[in-house]
Amino acid sequence: MQDTMLTIRTNSPIGTISPRLYGHFAEHLGRCCYEGLWVGTREREIPHQDGFRSDVLQALQALPVPLLRWPGGCYADHYHWRDGIGPAESRPVRLGMSCGLQVEDDNSLGTHEFLQLCKLLGAEPYLAGNMGSGSVQELSDWLEYCNSAVRTTLAWERAANGSPEPFGVKLWGVGNESWGCGGNYDAVQYAKEFRRYATMLRHVDPTAELVAVGLEEPRPFAKGIEAEWNHKLLAELGPHIKLMDHLAIHYYWVLGGPETDFSEEEYYALLDDAAATEAVVRHTAEVIADATGGRHRIGIALDEWGVWHPEARPWGPRGAAECRSVITYEQANTMRDAVATGIALEGFHRQCHVLTLANLAQIVNVLQAVVMTDGPQMWLTPTYHALRLHQPHLGATALPVDIAHGSSLANGSSAVSATASQSNNGIAVTLINRHWDQPASVQIAGVDGMGTASGQLLAADSPRATNSVDEPNRVAPVPLNVSRDGAGYRVELPPHSLATVVLQAGR
């Protein structure tokens, strides 16, 4: 086992790690919203608060969840907000549609319920507006209903429905994947629509932050989607580019083969795909910088990200062959997915000056869920624990980490990587040992003057290890021994693991 030395550069801050980078995404898709979060106020068997499962709430409160996007996804472009307000018994039952599923949707989880969920979680709401099948007026009305302090009929209606105070929702998505499920627009057409929507929305609430639909590029798995979408959209907006606060991109990792039964090669392929998220963000930042010439700040909203295994999708690599015959968008979540999450978050921290928000897809039961439910049972996935390990970084200042590596991966890169941040609580370092089967001994340097150290480790006997209803704690954090090593510290990391070390100031 060769040593790796990490040097934290405390005097070269990158920027603030906004809590918005630790956002989540709840779509009306499969068992995410209905069943996973919402069981309804009439539920008798499963304990709940205001209709939301208490066990799930408690787990999410501890994570934490600083930002929550809703109601889609593709679902958003079919969603009519008026269906989800007023007495539950008089709400219409609609065709709930997203990603090819069609279900009965009783609209019992609507605007007030969602915003109550955000309150319970301490999350900032991010509402995805319907451009695909809605209208400028409909979205303007939703914004007025939520945010207006002027005593309009819509504001009175909000009050009559239980919320006299404006909700003050800042983040509004104008469409979702409008180059695909959200209407198959081309970039110029979307730019014209966005300009109209954004102009009118700004009249209603000039403080709303508007998120336009962008495209992650390059995007090798989608046929027929226009190249250079972001460039064309920004160019077409011309002087109206100021209407855009954030440009949304989505990035799903699809290159890792099967969800649990993957090979060593596939293990690394998934980790590389997770690492590529940063390059996509960087590329998007370059396109934005070219278009704005630095005269207007547009943040990147990575408002869907995470792993999407072939068992849960009929498209993309191995999707046609491996997708389950009944698609639920549910998939296994392993130690490998936790390591991949840590890798992506390293990139988020490095790009925190351009990446303004990010939402892991999705929060409960669907895709890379942090919490799974089965009837009254609930368990936490390895991804949950990976995110929880990052808690000390929220709101802290990201610091660069230099790596002098010991053991390398096949591609010559370091097996060990890390991200660090500084806050009033000291310095936090999250380390990853990406190696499939080799442990790592790691020295942490550049932190002179720091005192007490504590650590938490997330590891498992196999990268394929997962939690389940029968074995909910197979992958769970344990205390990590952090020893002094000269002016620095030393930790030993098992293969395919991640850990957070917190160093407090003072000896």
Q: Which stretch binds ligand AHR (CB under 6 A): 51-59, 320-328, 361-369, 475-483?
A: 361-369
Q: Which is nearer to ligand AHR, 181 or 343 (CB)?
A: 181
Q: Which of 74, 109, 249, 364 binds ligand AHR (CB under 6 A)?
A: 74
Residues 458, 471: Cα–Cα separation, whole Å: 16
Residue with Cβ nearer ligand AHR (95 or 410): 95
Nearer to ligand AHR, 24 or 250 (CB): 250
Cα 499 from Cα 181, distance rounded (Å): 38
Residue 348, φ and ψ in degrees, nearest 5: -60, -45
Choose between 130 and 176: whose C-beta lies nearer to ligand AHR: 176
- Under the binding rule (CB under 6 A), the answer on residue 132 touching ligand AHR is no
Least Å distance, CB 303 to ligand AHR, is 9
C-alpha dihedral sign at 367, 373, 374, 379: positive
Q: Residue 177, interface with ligand AHR (CB under 6 A)?
A: yes
- Residue 228 zone, left/alpha/beta (φ > 0; ψ -120 to 50; rest): left
Among 4, 23, 27, 388, indicate the residue that binds ligand AHR (CB under 6 A): 27
How buried is 484 (Cβ within 10 angstroms: 0-12 exposed, 13-18 middle, 19+ buried)? exposed
Of 74 and 418, the one with the shorter C-beta distance to ligand AHR is 74
Is 361 a binding residue for ligand AHR by CB under 6 A? The answer is yes
> Of the ranges 70-78, 89-97, 154-162, 212-220, which one interacts with ligand AHR (CB under 6 A)?
70-78
466 token code pair: 């997962």
297-335 burial code (b ≥16 CB/10 A, e <16): ebbbbbbbbbbbbbbbbeebbbbeebbeeeeebbbbbbb
502 within 8 A of 454, measured Cβ to Cβ:
yes
Residue from 18, 98, 359, 419 that binds ligand AHR (CB under 6 A)? Answer: 98
Of 144, 205, 259, 304, the residue at the interface with ligand AHR (CB under 6 A) is 304
* Residue among 72, 125, 214, 257 that touches ligand AHR (CB under 6 A): 72
Nearer to ligand AHR, 24 or 388 (CB): 24
- Exposed e or buried b per residue across 234-261, where buried means at least 16 C-beta atoms within 10 angstroms of its C-beta: bebbeeebebbbbbbbbbbbbbbbbbbe
Nearer to ligand AHR, 268 or 329 (CB): 329
| Positions marked catalytic | 177, 304
Interface positions, 40-59, toward ligand AHR (CB under 6 A): none
Query: CB of 121: closest distance to ligand AHR in angstroms?
Result: 20
* Contact string 364-393 vs ligand AHR (x = CB under 6 A): ---x--------------------------
Measured from each CB, the residue nearest to ligand AHR is 73
Helices (H), 89-205: 111-121, 136-147, 153-160, 187-204
Residues within window 245-284 making contact with ligand AHR, judged by CB under 6 A: 250
With contacts defined by CB under 6 A, name the span among 58-66, 71-79, 344-352, 401-409 that binds ligand AHR: 71-79
Nearest approach in angstroms of CB 310 to ligand AHR is 15
Burial of 54 (0-12, 13-18, 19+ CB in 10 A): middle
* Segment 394 to 433, residues that bind ligand AHR, using CB under 6 A: none
CA distance 249 to 361: 13
d(CA 418, CA 431): 4
Cα end-to-end distance, the chain, whole Å: 30
What SS3 class is residue 109? coil
Residues that bind ligand AHR (CB under 6 A): 27, 72-74, 98-99, 176-177, 250, 304, 361-362, 367
